[in-house]
Chains A and B, each alone.
Chain A
Amino acid sequence: MTIPLPPSHGPVGGHTEAPVPGALEEDTRGLSLWRGAWQRLRRNPTAIAGALIVLAFVVIAIIAPLLTPYEPASTQWSGQVTPTDVPGPSEEHRLGLDRFGSDLYTQMLYGARQSLVYGVVSTIIGLTVGAFLGLLAGGLGGKVDTIIMRVVDIMLSIPSLLLAVSIAAVLGQNAYSVMIAIGVAQVPIFARLLRGSMLSQNKSDYVLAADALGIRKRKIIMGHVFPNSVGPTIVQATLNLATAIIEVAALSFLGLGDGDPAVAEWGRMLVAAQDRFDAAPQLALLPGTAIAITALGFTLLGEAMREALDPRTRR
């Protein structure tokens, strides 16, 4: 009895979306996989939309200090905030103040920075460790494969947010803890994905050919199998950036985020805004929407990449 692998835990599942008709006008036959994918990506409006959102997010995160005269931690206007009245937009404060008397606009900008750092670092942790494990399992096979995959199974036996919660609960409330927790929770996805695509390459003709030519196994794996299997993993990393940014906010919501009050973080802003809804709904709407838009950017980009790399969409 064959047991199909469950789809990956990414935000949109592991199934390949059906090719969108009309998305590919140009003949990309004859180009290498990556060049062809790049050509298709450049012409895909979804990819461009996603890339623009991501670009805007990254630029804002980097130049945040240039865009505002204030410091994110400054609560010097706290005198103007009362439980029933949180000042809205004014000349001094483009988006008004938050409930602690900080400039909301500044908090939003610096929040982008925080999300970028958290998202990227945690995804890099997950990608590096996961891909390394997947490479070992898929490349070496045998006992190594069995052991690694059993560990991955154990990690997959609980939902990834709960895995992150249990790690963050041990490590304490700081930035490193958040990044490690979210990163480790992503490890099994990457390990499983890379191993899976490597195994499917193992049976292909070029591997057999290389093997028949007497090329060393290590060289076949590193020189042929790995480069040909890494595509889905890179796509998943892009999609995981979206998940990571949402999960960072969720950890904050659960009280396991970075405990430093000087750090502006969208998730925590959202939590803090909860009991001021009636007076100032913008305090929740802005960070919540910002998280969703950022996640949307990475998701659009990731899906377009998946479509571009899918051999079935090459004519």
Chain B
Amino acid sequence: MLRFVLRRLALMVPVLVGLSILLFAWVRALPGDPARSLLGEKATPEGIARVRELYGFDEPLLTQYFLYVKALLSGDFGDSIKTGQPVVESFFDRFPATLELGITALMIAVVVGVPLGYLAARHQGSPIDTAVVSTSLLGVVTPVFFLAILLKLVFADWLGWLPTTGRQDARINATHITDFYVLDGILTREWDAAWDAVLHLVLPALALATIPLAIIVRITRASVAEVVNEDYVRTAESKGLSSAVISRRHILRNALLPVVTTIGLQAGLLFSGAVLTETVFAFNGVGQYLFDAIGSRDYPVLQGYILFIAIIYALINLAVDVSYGVIDPRVRVS
């Protein structure tokens, strides 16, 4: 297993190198002087000269690329044009928020999606099946930000049940240890702070969960529907095994592989969903950070962010591949 993980990690290298070349070319493809686009509108001649030197824009392209990679390897992803803060720093400041939101959304999607898909597949053609399939179809075709706006409008603005924006009420003077607000509240036993953070999570997490939820439902349904017709399920039934055992050990376990792939893929896609959702709810995570960066054409931030996402995305895919071995012994052996 370790060898497999290492090999997969090694396979990530060419992709990341390729991506770094693309991102390197990307900044240089921007119209006009790259130093000027990196500095934005506030560019002074001195600033431009400094950036030109910093990134070596006067050097040959190959040297420039090596300078860029050298900076990346030493953890320097550049500074934001707008705030002057290092991109890495602002990214990790906001990452816990997005992770908290993303994990919540994914949990909703899996916990609701897998049983629903299973239920639909076991009752194919029934009204339950029809209802589940059509609702999931609606979930797939509704734009995330439209749904986010609707949820906010109905549950926050009109009904007033839930807070409209942010991660926590500013009046709560909560202690933050991990920057996962719910976890912080639990760790410090500030229950009102934890509860408030949960309330702030509900709407953005629901909006973010919709598409993964819909897709997980559909894949689970398709996968279970295929497995229930297998010979070994019939054998298990004729052996007189209880239906609970058949469901768990024979159907679910065999149907799970495509579902796990989908969950992994959707986990990666949450980062593009987060850009839209966090923006609607002013949820101060990396998604909103990216949105602001797009608005102000903060290219170093965009460049750094994309590279971060690619790394995380690749790690998630690796985790998915590793989990195959756990779920399916056949994969382990070969």
Q: Which residues of A contact B (CB under 8 A)?
A: 1-4, 6-7, 9, 11-13, 15-18, 20-22, 150-151, 153-154, 157-162, 165-166, 169-170, 172, 242, 246, 249-250, 253-256, 267, 270, 274, 277-278, 281, 284-285, 288, 291-293, 295-296, 299-300
| In the complex, B168 has a CB within 8 A of chain A | no
Q: Tell me whether A157 and B314 are in contact (CB under 8 A).
A: yes
Q: Are B146 and A7 in contact (CB under 8 A)?
A: no
Residue B162 CB within 8 A of the other chain: no
Residues of B within 8 A of A284 (CB): 146, 149-150, 153
B26 interface contact, C-beta 8 A: yes
Whether B45 sits at the interface, judged by CB under 8 Å, is no
Asked if A22 meets B125 with Cβ closer than 8 Å, knowing A4-B257, A7-B265, A165-B294, the reply is yes
Partner of A11, one of B141, B145, B271: B141
CB distance from B226 to the nearest CB of A (A): 6
By a beta-carbon cutoff of 8 Å, the part of chain B in contact with chain A is 4, 14-16, 18-19, 22, 26, 29-31, 121, 124-125, 137-138, 140-146, 149-150, 153, 157, 215, 218-219, 221-223, 225-226, 257-258, 261-262, 264-265, 268-269, 271-272, 275-276, 279, 291, 294-295, 297, 299, 302, 306, 309-310, 313-314, 317, 320-321, 324-325, 331, 334
Can you list 26 A-B contacts (CB < 8 A)?
A2-B331, A3-B324, A6-B317, A7-B265, A13-B215, A13-B265, A15-B258, A18-B221, A154-B19, A157-B16, A158-B310, A162-B271, A162-B272, A162-B309, A170-B26, A170-B31, A254-B275, A254-B279, A254-B294, A270-B145, A277-B153, A284-B146, A288-B146, A295-B141, A296-B137, A299-B141
Looking at B31, B157, B218, B317, the one whose CB has the most chain A CB atoms below 10 A away is: B218
B15 touches A153 (CB 8 A): yes
Contact (Cβ within 8 A) A159 B146: no
A6 to B257 Cα, complex, angstroms: 10
Residues of B within 8 A of A161 (CB): 272, 275
B143, B297, B306: which has the most chain A beta carbons within 10 Å?
Answer: B143
| Chain B at the A interface: SS class | helix
Q: Which residue of A lies closest to B37 (CB)?
A: A170
Pick the contact of B124 from A18, A160, A291 — CB < 8 Å? Answer: A18
B291 partner, pick from A11, A150, A170, A254, beta carbons under 8 A: A254
**Which one, B121, B257, B269, B294, contacts A256 given CB within 8 A?**
B294
- For the complex of A and B, list the 6 residue pairs with the smallest distance between their C-beta atoms, beginning with the closest: A18-B225, A288-B146, A295-B141, A161-B272, A159-B272, A154-B18
- What B residues does A158 contact at CB under 8 A? 19, 306, 309-310, 313
Q: Could you tell me the distance in whole angstroms from the C-beta of B116 to the nearest C-beta in chain A?
A: 15
Of A250, A278, A300, which contacts B157 at CB under 8 A?
A278
How many angstroms between the C-alpha atoms of A34 and B111 in the bound complex?
Answer: 40
Find out whether the CB atom of B18 lies under 8 angstroms from the CB atom of A150.
yes
Closest Cβ of chain B to A22, distance in Å, is 7
Check A162–B219 contact: CB distance below 8 A.
no
Name the B residues within 8 Å of A160 (CB-CB): 272
Which of A3, A6, A22, A250 is B145 in contact with, Cβ under 8 Å? Answer: A250
Partner of B261 from A4, A9, A170, A292 at Cβ < 8 Å: A4
Closest Cβ of chain A to B133, distance in Å, is 9
Interface contact A7-B258, CB-CB below 8 Å: yes
On whether A17 and B218 interact (CB within 8 A), knowing A246-B141, A255-B295, A284-B149, the answer reads yes
B276 touches A253 (CB 8 A): yes
A246 / chain B contacts, CB cutoff of 8 Å: 141, 143
| CB-CB nearest in chain A for B296 | A255
Contact at B31–A150, with CB atoms within 8 Å?
A: no
B124 near A4 with CB under 8 A, answer: no
Residues of A within 8 A of B331 (CB): 1-2
B324 adjacent to A4 (CB under 8 Å): yes
Q: A12-B218, A162-B309 are in contact. Are A169 and B294 (CB under 8 A)?
A: yes
List 6 other contacts, CB 8 Å, given A295-B142, A296-B141.
A4-B324, A11-B141, A250-B143, A270-B146, A292-B138, A299-B137
Q: How far is the CB of A145 from chain B (nearest CB, A)?
A: 15
CA distance A112 to B261 in the complex (A): 35
Contact (Cβ within 8 A) A169 B146: no
Per the bound structure, the CA–CA distance linking A299 and B140 in Å amounts to: 9
Complex formed: what's the CA distance from A285 to B147 in Å? 10
Contact between A150 and B19 (Cβ–Cβ < 8 Å)? no
Contacts of B14 in A (CB 8 A): 150
| A162-B271, A255-B295, A296-B138 given; A7·B261 CB < 8 A | yes
CB distance from A54 to the nearest CB of B (A): 13
B125 close to A20 (CB less than 8 A): yes
Q: A4-B257, A153-B15, A254-B294 are in contact. Are A15 and B138 (CB under 8 A)?
A: no
Q: How far is the CA of A16 from the CA of B225 in the complex (A)?
A: 11
A159–B309 touching, CB < 8 Å: yes
> Smallest distance from the beta carbon of A43 to chain B beta carbons, Å?
17
With CB as the reference atom, state the residue of chain A lying closest to B331: A1
CA distance A20 to B14 in the complex (A): 43
* A160–chain B nearest beta-carbon distance, Å: 8
Assembly CA distance A172 to B297 (angstroms):
10
| Separation of A25 and B22 alpha carbons in the complex (Å) | 52
Q: Within the complex, what minimum Cβ distance (angstroms) separates B327 from chain A?
A: 12
- Distance in angstroms from B280 CB to nearest chain A CB is 8
| B-side contacts of A166, CB under 8 Å | 26, 302, 306
